[in-house]
Structure 1
Amino acid sequence: MYDSLRTNLSNLKNNKFFELLVVAVIIISALEIGAKTFELPDSAVSITTVLDVFITVFFLFELAIRFIADDDKRSFFKKGWNVFDTLVVVVSLIPVDDSEMALLARLVRVFRVLRMVSVVPELRVLINSLIKALPQLGYVVLLMFIIFYIYAAIGSFIFNDINPELWGDIAISMLTLFRIMTFEDWTDIQYETMEVYPMSWVYYMSFIFLTAFAFLNMVIGIVVGVMEEEHRAARAQKEPSLSELQQELREIKEVLSELQKK
């Protein structure tokens, strides 16, 4: 009986309509969270309360289906997304009103929108790619910090007398350089220093080339490379392996040989 139940729940979990229903509930949850940020009439507040209970119960039901339908239950909580979904569902059971943990419960309900990532495989590939790219991105960030530090020290020494609010010390200079890298009114800063040092444009042009162009392209290249590897791994999981195909061919041959004997 348990095997029959697990099979039925597995079919339900893999059903496209059920997947779309889960996505629809997640979207409703996001809309309900957004609606609570407005001043609502009492009737609308009662509707959002009922919706909140329904969404929490539905997520608990959906998580139970996934757990029962899973072939390897010991490894169920070894998967990061399953742990995340479980934490969100468990904390969502905390009463929001008249509770010391009401603020925590409300904040966790906001994170229910992230369940869209665990439901949609394509979004999981994107997030996994970003996570796996972090070690490589760390070296790029370290190199960028070194460039920031050098340019901030130079800017603090040279431009401090021109505008102490922007170049007063190395920390403020790094914030100013971040503003320049994001092109936030950076020409105003440049023209201000060029009135005293006409060749200071070289300082800004070289910094922008290194950070906004070179490092940004390096980050994009790393993320795209890892994303391609994740897509290949996902396709490899969906496609049957060579050993599985050979096993199926052997089984077909055995069946044909038995039919020929008869």
Structure 2
Amino acid sequence: MPLLFKKQKKIVFMTWNDFQNRFQTIRDNKAFELFVIGVIIFSSLMIGIRTYEMHPVAEQILWGLDYAVTLFFLLEISIRMAAEDRLKDFFKKGWNIFDFVIVAVSLIPLDDSQYALIARMLRLFRVMRLISFIPELRVLVSALLSALPRMGYVALLMFIIFYVYAVIGNLLFENINPVLWGDLGVSLLTLFRVATFESWTSVMYETMAMYGLSWIYYLTFIFFSAFVFFNMMIGIVVEVLDEEHKKLTADQDDLEKQEHVDYEMRIEQELQALHQKLDALLAQQAVK
């Protein structure tokens, strides 16, 4: 009788480290990152398309696509979380927390309730995830956040100037046009109109009919608000943006140096392993 040999199948059990390595490979894959960016743009376009009147069938298709995008974002954030060596390491980065909050909010089931409008508005914020995926946008946002404390003092000084000029405008021009200068609030709005150059000459000519030198009031205010403070704001943002670019360049250089060191250490370890194998083979040959 012929002997029957049963071929045994080798069962491979994957450990969590194996899964984690695969998740890290997916997370660090540039194609995957570009695909996520494409899905973010697509989801934002869907929200824009839904502002138009559509056929009920098209509405149902968009509804299904929206849920598919939501599930994809859930899968994507889960992969990124699982790729970390420790889960708490994921939440050490501010941009990861930002992505997690946006994805979590988009999972709130509000479409069939009276809060459906709120749900659609919250899902609109998914387009802001582009900031966390595009390094240049991250630099701009980081620069803006870093500049806010300095800009706050400039804004405070600007408010003081606005306040002084608003009170003066109320005292001088209230009788000319109460609609524009009737109290402090409307005076501030009028000055904001002047600062943005929105038909400010008509406001000036109206007061010049009674006070011929009132042009001094407007020109000095425009000089402070539109020229001095505006350029101070720009200067602060440019300075902080330059600092952020230098910091990003330094971080990239450190990362490249670390990768080079890791590569050299890995090559050295492989060479040591080869030397050990060679020594073992030579020892075996010597014994024979």
Secondary structure of 1:239's partner?
helix
The answer to whether the aligner puts 1:99 opposite 2:113 as a matched pair is yes
Structure 2 regions of 5+ residues with no counterpart?
Answer: 1-14, 280-288
Q: Do structure 1's residue 67 and structure 2's residue 81 form an aligned pair?
A: yes
Alpha-carbon distance in structure 1 between the residues aligned to 2:266 and 2:99 = 42
1:237 deviates by 1.6
Question: Equivalents in 2 of 1:137, 1:152: separation in Å?
Answer: 22
Task: State which of 191, 199, 218 in structure 1 corresponds to 2:232.
Answer: 218
Segment of structure 1 superposing worse, 244-253 or 120-129: 244-253
> How far apart, in 2, do the equivalents of 1:242 and 1:118 lie?
21
Q: Which residue of 1 aligns with 2:134?
A: 120
C-alpha contact 2:27 2:33 (8 A) present in aligned 1: yes
Structure 1 residues without counterparts, runs of 5 or longer = none
Matched residue count: 260
Q: Secondary structure at the match of 1:57?
A: helix
Q: After superposition, where does 1:152-163 map in structure 2 within 5 Å? A: 152-163=166-177
Which of 152, 174, 177 in structure 1 is aligned with 2:191? 177
Q: Distance in 2 between matches of 1:152 and 1:137?
A: 22
Deviations 1:195-234 (CA, angstroms, capped at 9, x unpaired) = 1111111111111010101101110111111111111111
1:198 to 212, 234, 255: 212
Matched residue, 2:282: none
Residues 94 and 105 in structure 1, CA contact (< 8 A), matched pair in contact too: yes
Q: What is the percentage of aligned positions where both structures have the same residue?
A: 49
How big is the shift at 1:160? 0.9
| Cα distance between partner residues in 1 of 2:82 and 2:76 | 10
CA distance in structure 1 between the aligned counterparts of 2:266 and 2:64, rounded to whole angstroms = 55
**Alignment of 1:164 onto 2:183:** no
Partners of 1:94 and 1:101 within 8 A in 2:
no
Q: Could you say which residue in structure 1 is the equivalent of 2:283?
A: none
Larger mean CA deviation between 72-81 and 7-16 belongs to 72-81
Does the aligned pair in 1 maintain the 2:163–2:188 contact within 8 Å? yes
Q: Deviation of residue 70 (structure 1)? A: 2.4
Helix, strand or coil: the match of 2:228?
helix
1:149 counterpart residue number: 163
Q: What's the TM-score, normalizing by structure 1?
A: 0.90
Match of 1:188 among 202, 208, 218: 202
1:135 CA drift (Å): 0.8
Matched, 1:209 2:223: yes
For residues 72-120 of structure 1, the C-alpha deviation after alignment (integer angstroms, 9 at most, x for no partner) is 4313223332222222212222234323543332221111111111111
Contact 2:111/2:119 (<8 A) preserved = no
